[in-house]
Amino acid sequence: MSLIKICVVIPVYNHGAAIGAVVASVQRHGLHCILVDDGSDANCAAVLDQLEATGITLIRLAKNQGKGGAMIAGFRSASALGYSHVLQIDADGQHNTADIPKFVVLAQQNQPALICGCPVYDESVPKARLYGRYATHIWVWINTLSLAIKDSMCGFRVYPLAPTIALFDSTNIGKRMDFDIEVAVRLYWRGMPVINQPTRVSYPSDGISHFKVLKDNLLISRMHAQLFAGMLLRSPLLIWRKIAA
């Protein structure tokens, strides 16, 4: 088995207070960071300019495209730099970077698989957000006819690059908070195995959340409806995969 070549992609939108610590903790694991500035304000942009001097790759989007838009730009940059896998992690410090070696080992051992973080929350998690996630979990289980994806909303995961970019090239993936959910479901539909890795999650170190309760929940609801229609078309194949397994 050949060694994978993995880098970290972090979408950044006005997380100037937290991103320096996140980058430092990632770099301690010897991984190259690609930061995607998703139209941040001048203060955050200045912080990112300083981080660029530490050896990170900085991509700047002219205007805010949303988390998904930033991640897609980061994936394409990673591919151009010759990486085989991308580890995605959030910029606000909510993810436990001490678990990065676990994700990397799982990716090495399961190179064609999507390695999904499965959150273990502490007392800082907003209860409304915690309970709201379960509605999405149920829809994902329906739309995959499977319990394979334990948590589709966690932004701490490892993607094999080639099949993920092939998905982007052929399908219009959601560009905002619907991205993490939709890309996981569609990769599963394409036969990508899913490995779930428990990881501690806290909320968030800089006090900034870009989740817009009404707008993003409406966006996610529309996405679930579209995926449900897609599942109906694919249901014979999904059912056959379960039987064959």
How far is residue 132's CA from residue 124's CA, in Å, rounded to a whole number? Answer: 15
How far is residue 193's CA from residue 187's CA, in Å, rounded to a whole number? Answer: 8
pLDDT at position 210 is 56
Query: Would you call 71 exposed, middle or buried from its count of C-beta atoms within 10 A (0-12, 13-18, 19+)?
Result: buried
Query: Poorest-confidence range of 14-18, 42-46, 213-217, 231-235?
Result: 213-217
% of the chain exceeding 90 in pLDDT: 70
pLDDT at position 237 is 87
pLDDT category at 205 given cuts 50, 70, 90 is low
pLDDT at position 82 is 97
pLDDT at position 197 is 97
Residues 148-175: tens digit of each pLDDT: 999 998 999 999 999 999 999 999 988 8
Residue 216 pLDDT greater than 90, yes or no: no
pLDDT at position 209 is 56
Neighbouring residues of 166: CB distance < 8 A, sequence distance ≥ 6 = none
Q: Do β-strands 85-88 and 114-121 pair in parallel, antiparallel, or remain unpaired?
A: unpaired
Phi, psi of 78 (to 5 degrees): -60, -40
Reference 96, options 11, 203, 12, 196; nearest CA is: 203
How far is residue 5's CA from residue 107's CA, in Å, rounded to a whole number? Answer: 10
Residue 19 pLDDT greater than 90, yes or no: yes
Using DSSP's 3-state secondary structure scheme, residue 26 falls into helix
> What mean pLDDT, rounded, does the chain reach?
90
pLDDT category at 219 given cuts 50, 70, 90 is confident
pLDDT at position 214 is 58
Residue 211 pLDDT greater than 80, yes or no: no
pLDDT at position 43 is 95
Distant-in-sequence contacts of 53-56, Cβ < 8 A, 24+ apart:
54/23, 54/27, 55/27, 56/23, 56/32
Query: Poorest-confidence range of 29-33, 113-117, 119-123, 180-184?
Result: 119-123
| pLDDT, mean of residues 20-32 | 95
| pLDDT, mean of residues 172-180 | 86
Residue 206 pLDDT greater than 60, yes or no: no
Residue 239 pLDDT greater than 80, yes or no: yes
Residues 93-144: tens digit of each pLDDT: 999 999 999 999 999 999 999 999 999 987 766 666 666 677 888 999 999 9
CB 18 within 8 A of CB 204: yes
| pLDDT, mean of residues 38-57 | 94
Q: Do β-strands 114-121 and 194-201 pair in parallel, antiparallel, or remain unpaired?
A: parallel
What is the Cα gyration radius of the chain?
17
CA of residue 92 relative to chain centroid, distance: 13
| pLDDT, mean of residues 50-69 | 93
